Amino acid sequence: MSHYINLALKALAKSIGFVKEREVLWLLIFIVIFSAPLRMYNLNTHPPGLFGDEAADGLDALSIISGDRPLFLTENNGREPLHAYLVALSTNLLGRTPAAVRLPSALASTLTILALFLATKAITGTRIALIASIISGFTVWPIMLARLATRPALLPLALSITLWVVIEAYKRNNNKLWVLAGLMLGISVYTYTPIRLLIIFPLLCLSALFIRQIRRRILLSTTYLFLSFVIIVSPFVIYTANNQEQVLGRTTGVSVIDLNDEPSEILNTTVSQTIAVFQMFSVPGKGDWNLRHNIPNRPVFDPIMTFVLVIGLIIAPKTLGKHKLVLIFSYSIIALLPTILSEEAPHFGRASGILPILFIFPALGLSWIHKQLKQLTENFISIVISSAIVGGSILITIHDYYLDEYLVQPTTGFWFDEQCTIAAIDINKFIGAGWQGDNAGNANIAYQRTDKMVFIAPNVCPQYSSSGYYTIQFLVPMYLGSTPPFQRYSIDRLPNHNALANNLLFLGIPGDEDILIPWLEADYNISIQDGPWTPPDKLGNSWLVYRSLYATSK
């Protein structure tokens, strides 16, 4: 670990000090290589379990593999489809495993470091872009987006690329780049719901440029962007027009604003939500509380990086200039609206649209610190001190995230449906197919009909619970239905013995064995194993989730 830390500090020193153009690529590659393991190490087991929302995209991926081509995913409250298509590619490669579902998010978060560098370089310059890339590479928020296999990880990548292409198209007055910008903006619509608000930003920018007497040039550019955007997005728009309740229902369902409320009530709600969201960046205990998005309540920036962030915000007007600053702050407000206006604020998933520009400000602060130190002391010392600031922040992230083993804590596993994942592994080991935990077994081995049957109690990963139910459905290569070989059982209506296979597995509620054993013992040899336990609650109580009963015919 110390060897890698030394390498990281050397890269920090080079990026904060003078950087020659030929070194930029190597530094960027180093940043990606060093930060990628935080996102991609042991995706099958870190975090343990496969959360139901992740598994839901896995199930949609299986439908895509079988030939479906959805424009919108209607299950699980409705979702944009691009992530599921990417999961289909990785599932084809890795089989029905947690790693297959998480790989697209992990790759997207890793590539965002590169895309963020390009966008930041276009806005500010190479040095600020490198520093911003380092900070983004070792911030918990984007790392957690990488390890949760849902749509939010795709949005920062798509938006960073779009911002970069738009800026370059404007700078170069290049029509091909304007076409590419429209294509990227259209692709973004298929990533994650907040993009529907973020589309407002390019419209505002183009309108501002038009007002500033650049009419002829911007009119032609806008035409190229608009036409390419329409080509990509029109299928989704047509689908939305014909299925408004499906596409728009989720957005209205999580909104905290009710237009029927009194104006004063709406204002109070908006103000309190806004305060909560802005506190998430640096106020201890005010970050996202959801264990799947964040180390609970941890702010985006640790104390060291908060100090640098404040300096960056103070000097931003002079460093960036009025016009850039207005555009960046306008983008930031629009990007934060999805979490300001919705439940569970602050919500790191819904706020993920701000990531492409967020790290500009701490990067400005660190660059300013280096310049001030350089005037007071030798260049080498100024580089060492500046590097130590970011290095200290990196060490805090690694400590909080890995050395404290946050990803494998029992509570984290519980929030990622670890108990239902263990149930799926037990079933797969019994039937001899599918993923069997960690890297064991061949996940691509399909179930072959044998003389085995699996029964699962109604309250074990129940169907009315979207989470555990989807986890079982994706990881077990059999359909959980009403017919053999994999079905729910009712303790009041057990099947006839002549309908049973020679080898049985029951995942039952503790206590069901008191009925199952007398019912089976005349014809079967029986063994029982305890399944997983829930993590202790605040009172120290824990519960056995299910008990496995294995029966082999005599």
Pairing of strands 452-456, 503-508: parallel
Which spans in 457-533 are helix H? 466-475, 513-520
Query: What is the DSSP annotation of 224-293?
Result: HHHHHHHHHHHHHHHHHHH-HHHHHHHHHHTB---TTS-HHHHHHHHHHHHHHHHHTTTSTT-S---TTT
**Which residue, 309, 304, 303, is CA-closest to 332?**
309
Q: Each residue of 314-335: b (16+ CB within 10 Å) or e?
A: eebeebbeeeeeebbeebbebb
**Which residue, 98, 218, 120, is CA-closest to 471?**
98
The pLDDT, as a whole number, for residue 465 is 64
**Which residue, 127, 196, 212, is CA-closest to 159?**
196
Using the 8-state DSSP alphabet, how is residue 305 labeled? Answer: H
Which residues pair with residue 526 across a beta bridge?
551
Query: To which residue do tokens 């990067």 refer?
Result: 363
**Which residue, 268, 3, 49, 46, is CA-closest to 144?**
46
| 3-class state of residue 188 by DSSP | helix
Main-chain dihedrals φ then ψ at residue 526, nearest 5 degrees: -125, 140
Q: Which two tokens stand for residue 485?
A: 């070989």
pLDDT digits (tens, 9 = 90+) for 530-550: 999 998 888 888 999 999 999
Q: Which two tokens stand for residue 224?
A: 């190229």
pLDDT digits (tens, 9 = 90+) for 59-87: 999 999 999 999 999 887 788 999 999 99
> In whole angstroms, what is the distance from residue 434 CA to residue 278 CA?
45
Which spans in 399-438 are helix H? 410-415, 418-431
> In whole angstroms, what is the distance from residue 227 CA to residue 33 CA?
38
Name every residue whose Cβ is closer than 8 Å to that of residue 338 and which is 6 or more positions away in sequence.
193, 194, 197, 347, 350, 351, 353
Which residues pair with residue 488 across a beta bridge?
456
Cβ–Cβ under 8 Å, residues 487 and 501: no
CA distances for 167 relative to 125, 129, 171, 173, angstroms? 13, 15, 6, 10
**Which residue, 57, 167, 70, 158, is CA-closest to 112?**
158
> In whole angstroms, what is the distance from residue 45 CA to residue 442 CA?
16
Indicate the helix (H) or strand (E) that contains 507: strand 503-508
With 0-12 / 13-18 / 19 or more C-beta atoms within 10 angstroms meaning exposed / middle / buried, residue 20 is exposed
> In whole angstroms, what is the distance from residue 202 CA to residue 193 CA?
17
Q: Which two tokens stand for residue 547?
A: 């008990």
- Count other C-beta atoms under 10 Å from residue 179's C-beta: 19
Q: Which two tokens stand for residue 316?
A: 């931003």
Query: To which residue do tokens 């010392």 refer?
Result: 381
Q: At what angle do helices 126-137 and 2-16 cross, to 10 degrees?
A: 150
> In whole angstroms, what is the distance from residue 146 CA to residue 352 CA?
12
Name every residue whose Cβ is closer than 8 Å to that of residue 177 and which is 6 or more positions away in sequence.
165, 168, 169
pTM over 0.85: yes
The pLDDT, as a whole number, for residue 5 is 42
**Angle, vertex CA 282, rays to CA 278 and CA 285, nearest 5:** 95
Cβ–Cβ under 8 Å, residues 164 and 56: no
Q: How many whole angstroms from its chain centre is CA 265?
A: 33
**Which residue, 90, 92, 120, is CA-closest to 105?**
90
> In whole angstroms, what is the distance from residue 334 CA to residue 332 CA?
5
CA distances for 418 relative to 49, 51, 293, 424, angstroms? 4, 8, 16, 10
Average pLDDT, the chain: 88
The pLDDT, as a whole number, for residue 217 is 63
> In whole angstroms, what is the distance from residue 483 CA to residue 480 CA?
8
- Intervals of the chain under pLDDT 50: 1-5, 7-18, 441
